Structure 1
Amino acid sequence: MDHFLYRDGALYAEDVPVAEIAAAVGTPFYVYSTATLVRHFRLFDEALEGMDHLVCYAMKAASNQAILKTLAAEGAGMDVVSGGEYRRARAAGVPGDRIVFSGVGKTAEEIRTALEGGIRQFNVESEPEMEVLSAVASQMGKTAPITIRVNPDVDAKTHAKIATGKSENKFGIPISRAREVYAMAAALPGIEVIGIDVHIGSQLTELEPFELAYQKVAELTETLRADGHDIRRLDLGGGLGIPYARSNEAPPLPVDYGALIKRTVGHLGCEIEIEPGRLIVGNAGILVSEVIYVKSGEGRDFLILDGAMNDLIRPAMYEAYHDIIPVIEPAPAAEQAPFDIVGPVCETGDTFARQRMMPPLSAGDLVAFRSAGAYGAVMASEYNSRPLVPEVLVNGDQFAVIRPRPTFDEMINRDTIPEWL
């Protein structure tokens, strides 16, 4: 469910007409719904009711500080994967004891930053990282709480580029070596083992892979406890998918995911962390773009938009599907025709959809890409010297620009010309 609905023939973001935002900020732009963000976070929080838990928003999905503050006010923790994300979360007012630091390539500088500012835990991904973490924490006279990420070799049945829990993926340590690595951790100074971490991928549309992974985590918990480790926290990752096409079968609900967690690891008495990102913010955001031209080609017609692959790269990178709808609701009897929907970047890959059935559209009409809140603005670039897309947050009948579009001068003047030129 989201809060982008047609009302009186026009698309609204909560109680704000999308066309009104477009007139104020220009296109293309992202707009997020506060009501949708809050609702989706609460679904996860309620799904774990009765368990000691923390829902840590995976902020790589969308990291604008306004989004972070909205979720933090609901009690969310944050899952960060870089020093920059850590600093962004702290700037948004998130306390260090609600920030989990994940990622396979943490540097000594990033570790030091998090230890200085406060951290809930580091999710350690390798022995070399653990040794660096131990050395940095010892130098600082601190003790770093850690979980160790285990790779359970479970097929998440998702896109190859976002699968993280198979043996060939770069993430975590093989679960078969867990006892050895935990013994090593227990002998190192400056760190304290508090739990286990697992994350098998993103955009999962079935519960079975989660169940297989969590069963392995439950068995490992018992084994490590028998070895003398105080396993009191389980970080179970995120990855629950969203429906990108309205015709698709809906992925599992958070309440069913929560029931699975209780069934597989609830008997262990551990504090539970989960790290949803896409499901919280994905359907809470849309990308709005304007039709520049309607072009007739050889055997096909094109809708050429002012939005491009640099603004929303998911279709080019993942062959991802997004529903694309007119901002002005078409008449019920409007005849539809197939179009290739493309952007202005000089690459064939700058294609959002091929032979997509669309109602009649003309230059100047607005369209909206649904379910664009996750991995949209955060993955945008200035390719072709196109300014970054502005972001807008709606709350009821109010809207605010939460990241402005830079001017061409601001973008170009970041370059520095050497003195010999």
Structure 2
Amino acid sequence: MKFGTITQQGLTLSSDIGILPAQHSANIQLGVQKDGSYTDYSVTAQIGYPTSTGDYLNAGTAVLDSVLTIPSECFKQDGVMVISLALTNGTELIVTHPLHLTIVGAPGSFVTLPPEEIWQQQVSAFVQSYLSTEGITISATAVTGEPGTEARVENTGTGTKPVFKFTIPRGNVGPTGPQGPKGETGATGPQGLTGPQGPKGDTGATGPQGLTGPQGPKGDTGATGPQGPAGPAGEGVPPGGEAGQIIVSTGNGGAEWRDMPKMDVIIDPNGGLQNTSSGLSIKGDSTASGGAGIVTGSTGTYVPIAADGKRGAIIGIAKTADQTEPVGIGSDGRVYTKFIGYQFESIDPSGGIINEQDNAGLRIKLNRDQAGGAGLEVNQNGLYLEKATSTTLGGVTVDTALSTTSTNPVQNKVIAAAIGDISTALNAILGV
């Protein structure tokens, strides 16, 4: 029975149990779940187990059908058992990080194993029965490794048809032993090998002609030759004919050359082309549903000015405030761009600029109202700046005398006069 499962994730092993059955157990089974990245790798387990002297010994065992069987010698002493998995794929060998499991100490073994020959017979019989029932075929090969290398076992087959390759290192060559006594003369040996072939003889006479061999494959088609001269007219072809004509039956067994029949061309009725007795031509009317916008009159062919419902040239009118065309050609022959309507919102109503209503453009406001004027006045004397008051815009108000409460600018001459009066007063006081 399985006591737990070892799970591989990359090079790390984990187990769902931490403690193995106690000391003196034997042949304990653990499930092995490989990492999906190592599906094509064969797996063997390397087990390090403790001994009574404190040393560790190593045991290697194959993992068959995802089951690791820990042999009995690994349970002779309590302590920590160390397990690593060796994964092989061809010449590649990968060893995982070790997993540590605990063997609990026990007072002694109560299991008496049968004698070795009986145990081997029972195990062999069980294994043969199990393999036969499960359809498993096992084969093995052995190769000799280099001296000093480790012995190893690789499974180059599958789970149900394992092929074990045992590599056993060759021992070092021992010292040469002493020469033995000379042996007795042996019996006569067998006939020696035939000697080398003698030199080649002279060439014989030429033999008779051999049979003709089979025909070889067909060669590639050659290049096309130049065009030959035109042959005579065939039977039933009437004489004459011009380029573009075709032969048409006359209905009485004869034939004659005729011009190609004319085919009607489908014209979009809303387009600018039309079918006439002379072929295709441009429509001369200018209606929106079926004209080209071209007129032919006594003055020749021309394009009239387009209007609602009619095709033609760009509509041209005199410049007006409600003009809607992007570009207009006026009756005076000038090109006019579309007029941009009044944008009163783009002008600060409290500033000194205004949009004229008669298309004259921007101008300076002439009123003096603080809410929407520039402080300018116009009368018969021209344009001038009136003095500002508390309610109207205008020029700067200048005081005529010093004041401690005035908010108006003070004239330089007022300050100079005041300073002069102060100097006179000081001179009088000081007696200068």
Relative to the length of structure 2, the TM-score reads 0.16
Structure of larger gyration radius = 2
Relative to the length of structure 1, the TM-score reads 0.17
Bigger relative contact order, structure 1 or 2, given CA contacts below 8 A and separation 6+? 1
